[in-house]
């Protein structure tokens, strides 16, 4: 999609509102034609070359009325402008967010969080500005057209002089735009890097301290800030230089008019009123040219911003940015969302995976979708305010997200030829086959970097598989990311993600609390004894990213979050990093006893997990090196023996 098409699609989002805004701003810009003519009449009347029928006082009254009328128009113009610009930016941000939440969870944004924030904030702002400034163009053309006609009829030669600044400024702006675009791109890039560095610094304070890297980190920050300063100075200098050309051209024009008017007045062909009219119109012509310059600058900035916003889409069509959607303002149109959702529900039907792909698409496994929703829906403390409850959030996003799929009870889950390689390193997994039956307990093990995490993420759709397929009871799962969420599956990632909220809310993450459900999940996650030691039990605020909990508590809170949900497949990615051997043993025992018909897929190298496994998969270099029971593998696999005995030795 080209910048021009993007721009038009933004205008077409609310064509009526945009047209209203265009009309008001055209009137605002054309309104000065009237006081110009009144000023001419006023001076000509005083000079005696013209006789206004109602006297000079009437002209003064009309001038005041014209000024008041323009103030009224500007007031309404600002109302329409605010409505257009904020609706556009809200739509863009909403659609960008919806897209991010639909991407495979582990690769949802292609840049650092800081850069993504800059995309959401600054690039959308620039786009909004370009659309907003575009409404001045019609009024400008109208004003210049009518004013030229009036001025030419008075004095063609002088009129040419009025338009000299216009020609100068437009030429200067044209010459400068390529440079402005270059400087603007560089300053945006530098700003994003600084924002990214700030977010990395704040996220890694502890790592920086323990590595004694404060000076180096601050040094890098200073370098990035210096680069930003340089690019910003160039950017601002160029923009301000152009503005000053716009501003000073009025003085230049006035000087030229005065010079010529003196000669013409002496010759008697030019009245004081004519002079007043020329000077009056020149001011407005130049102001309006300034607006053209602003529009051109913002349009160029928008081209840069559009490129950056597109990169966030990771190859998805840019049309989705301007796809009409409910943005939370006014009444929701019938047929949008509500009906669409019903239609999708009918398509998704009860029969499971194949139908689920017909829906709009939701993201991630349990870890990503409810997490993201709750992160947006729930503030730092206490219950969320009514305006941002999850039910409201679903109203805003349900055009994009399919309703949860209800698949038939799991009998067998199969993956065939599953392949994913990280573009950056070419590493990952290749040609993985696995079979999980209802009630089975499968452990994936292997050395560091062998591909265990990549395997579970690809299976669950958190990474987009390059090849292979996943089948649920023999039916192909077309869109694993939509499908592998509760009630089909629940997942605990290797690194737990907790939110600055109560412990209870971190476990439930929007799931309605049933009697005993949280207590049951806490017991299964071996967390029940820790609760008594916390200041406010389940209502303890866990702090940003759960910093008030120990690593093991955070890990088990994430496990409890998974276990509080009914699922037919539970996936754990390596709990051992933060759990002592005894706690982990109790956790697997409880899970093993309580799992019922659910299948468990566990990444671990701990004996406690391996001992429960009825099937073990040993990965090496992203491929399955061996598989079987622990007994078989101890006989047949050297790698497995190393892992098994490794725990004893180290």
| Cα–Cα distance list, 511 to 518, 523, 561 (Å) | 10, 18, 9
| Cα–Cα distance list, 197 to 37, 188, 191, 192, 395 (Å) | 58, 14, 10, 9, 35
Rounded to whole angstroms, the Cα distance separating 366 from 487 reads 9
Q: Is 623 in the site for ligand ATP (CB under 6 A)?
A: no
Q: Is 427 in the site for ligand ATP (CB under 6 A)?
A: yes
* Token output for 541: 């605020």
Q: Based on CB atoms, which residue is closest to ligand ATP, 31 or 618?
A: 618
Rounded to whole angstroms, the Cα distance separating 407 from 90 reads 35
Closest among 224, 3, 234 to 118, alpha carbons compared: 224
Q: Based on CB atoms, which residue is closest to ligand ATP, 386 or 448?
A: 448
Annotate 35-66 with DSSP letters as a single string.
HHHHHHHHHHHHHTS---TT-HHHHHHHHHHH
Rounded to whole angstroms, the Cα distance separating 266 from 460 reads 88
Q: Based on CB atoms, which residue is closest to ligand ATP, 424 or 631?
A: 424
- Cα dihedral 289, 290, 292, 297 sign: positive
Any idea what DSSP says for residue 26? H
Site for ligand ATP in 546-585 (CB under 6 A): 574
Closest among 613, 588, 605 to 641, alpha carbons compared: 605
Site for ligand ATP in 394-423 (CB under 6 A): 422
Q: Based on CB atoms, which residue is closest to ligand ATP, 523 or 623?
A: 623
The distance of closest approach from Cβ of residue 188 to ligand ATP in the complex, given in angstroms and rounded to an integer, is 25
Out of 80, 159, 453, 458, the only residue in the binding site for ligand ATP (CB under 6 A) is 453
Stretch that binds ligand ATP, among 7-15, 194-202, 442-450, 606-614 (CB under 6 A): 442-450
* Number of residues counted as binding ligand ATP (CB under 6 A): 15
The DSSP bridge partners found for residue 617 are 444, 627
Out of 51, 424, 535, 648, the only residue in the binding site for ligand ATP (CB under 6 A) is 424
Say if residues 502 and 540 touch (Cβ distance below 8 Å).
yes
The distance of closest approach from Cβ of residue 576 to ligand ATP in the complex, given in angstroms and rounded to an integer, is 10
Stretch that binds ligand ATP, among 7-15, 49-57, 128-136, 448-456 (CB under 6 A): 448-456
What are the residues whose beta carbons fall under 8 Å from the beta carbon of 133, sequence distance 6 or more?
A: 291, 294, 295, 298
Stretch that binds ligand ATP, among 209-217, 361-369, 445-453, 584-592 (CB under 6 A): 445-453
Q: Is 206 in the site for ligand ATP (CB under 6 A)?
A: no
Q: Based on CB atoms, which residue is closest to ligand ATP, 149 or 422?
A: 422
Q: Based on CB atoms, which residue is closest to ligand ATP, 105 or 451?
A: 451
Q: Is 451 in the site for ligand ATP (CB under 6 A)?
A: yes
The DSSP bridge partners found for residue 569 are 489, 599
The distance of closest approach from Cβ of residue 415 to ligand ATP in the complex, given in angstroms and rounded to an integer, is 15
Q: Is 425 in the site for ligand ATP (CB under 6 A)?
A: yes
The distance of closest approach from Cβ of residue 135 to ligand ATP in the complex, given in angstroms and rounded to an integer, is 45
The distance of closest approach from Cβ of residue 426 to ligand ATP in the complex, given in angstroms and rounded to an integer, is 8
Residue 349's region, left for phi above 0, alpha for psi from -120 to 50, else beta, is left
Q: Based on CB atoms, which residue is closest to ligand ATP, 8 or 422?
A: 422
Out of 203, 324, 449, 544, the only residue in the binding site for ligand ATP (CB under 6 A) is 449
Out of 273, 352, 359, 428, the only residue in the binding site for ligand ATP (CB under 6 A) is 428
Q: Based on CB atoms, which residue is closest to ligand ATP, 371 or 454?
A: 454
Number of CB atoms found within 10 A of residue 577's CB: 11
Rounded to whole angstroms, the Cα distance separating 148 from 159 reads 7
Binding site for ligand ATP (CB under 6 A): 422, 424-425, 427-428, 446, 448-454, 494, 574
């Amino acid at each position: 999609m080209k910048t021009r098409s993007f721009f038009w699609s933004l205008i077409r989002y609310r064509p009526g509102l945009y047209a209203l805004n265009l009309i008001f701003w055209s009137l605002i810009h054309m309104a000065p034609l009237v006081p110009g003519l009144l000023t001419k009449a006023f001076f000509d009347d005083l000079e005696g070359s013209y006789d206004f029928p109602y006297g000079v006082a009437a002209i003064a009254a009309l001038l005041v009325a014209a000024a008041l009328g323009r103030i009224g128009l500007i007031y309404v113009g600002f109302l329409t402008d605010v409505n257009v610009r904020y609706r556009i930016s809200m739509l863009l941000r909403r659609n960008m967010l919806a897209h991010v939440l639909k991407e495979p969870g582990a690769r949802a944004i292609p840049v650092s969080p800081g850069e993504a924030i800059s995309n959401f904030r600054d690039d959308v702002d620039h786009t909004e500005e370009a659309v907003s400034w575009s409404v001045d163009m019609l009024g400008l053309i109208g004003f210049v057209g009518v004013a030229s006609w009036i001025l030419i009829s008075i004095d063609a030669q002088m009129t040419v002089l009025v338009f000299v600044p216009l020609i100068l400024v437009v030429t200067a702006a044209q010459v400068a735009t390529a440079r402005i675009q270059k400087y603007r791109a560089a300053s945006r890039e530098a700003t994003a890097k600084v924002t990214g560095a700030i977010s990395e610094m704040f996220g890694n304070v502890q790592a920086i301290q323990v590595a004694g890297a404060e000076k180096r980190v601050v040094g890098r920050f200073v370098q990035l800030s210096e680069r930003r300063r340089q690019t910003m100075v160039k950017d601002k200098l160029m923009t301000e230089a152009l503005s000053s050309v716009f501003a000073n051209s009025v003085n230049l024009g006035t000087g030229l008019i005065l010079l010529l008017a003196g000669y013409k007045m002496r010759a008697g062909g030019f009245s004081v009123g004519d002079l007043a009219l020329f000077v009056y119109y020149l001011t407005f012509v130049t102001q309006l040219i300034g607006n053209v310059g602003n529009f051109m600058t913002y349009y160029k900035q928008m081209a840069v911003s559009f490129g950056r916003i597109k990169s966030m889409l990771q190859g998805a069509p840019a049309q989705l940015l301007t796809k009409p959607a409910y943005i939370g303002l006014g009444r929701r149109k019938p047929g949008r969302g509500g009906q669409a959702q019903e239609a999708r529900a009918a398509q998704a039907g009860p029969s499971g995976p194949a139908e689920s792909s017909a829906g709009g698409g939701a993201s991630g496994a349990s870890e990503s979708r409810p997490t993201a929703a709750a992160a947006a829906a729930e503030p730092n403390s206490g219950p969320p305010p009514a305006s941002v409850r999850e039910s409201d959030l679903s109203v805003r996003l349900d055009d994009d997200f399919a309703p949860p799929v209800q698949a038939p009870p799991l009998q067998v889950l199969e993956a065939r030829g599953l392949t994913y390689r990280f573009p950056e390193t070419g590493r990952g997994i290749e040609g993985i086959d696995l079979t999980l039956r209802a009630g089975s307990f499968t452990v994936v093990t292997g050395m560091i970097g062998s591909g265990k995490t990549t395997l579970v993420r690809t299976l669950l759709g958190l990474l987009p598989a390059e090849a292979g397929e996943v089948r649920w009871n023999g039916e192909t799962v077309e869109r694993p990311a939509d499908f592998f969420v509760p009630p089909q599956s629940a997942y605990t990632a290797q690194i737990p993600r907790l939110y600055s909220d109560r412990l209870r809310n971190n476990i439930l993450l929007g799931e309605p609390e049933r009697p005993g459900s949280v207590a049951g999940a806490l017991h299964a996650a071996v967390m029940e004894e820790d609760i008594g030691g916390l200041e406010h039990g389940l209502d303890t605020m866990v702090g940003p990213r759960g910093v008030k909990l120990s690593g093991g508590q955070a890990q088990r809170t994430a496990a409890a979050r998974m276990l509080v949900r009914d699922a037919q497949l539970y996936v754990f990615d390596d709990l051992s990093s933060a759990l002592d051997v005894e706690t982990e043993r109790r956790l697997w025992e409880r899970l093993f006893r309580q799992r019922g018909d659910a299948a468990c897929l566990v990444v671990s190298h701990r004996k406690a997990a391996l001992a429960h496994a009825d099937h073990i998969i040993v990965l090496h270099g992203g491929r399955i090196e061996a598989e079987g029971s622990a007994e078989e593998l101890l006989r047949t696999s050297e790698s497995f023996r190393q892992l098994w005995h490794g725990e004893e030795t180290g």
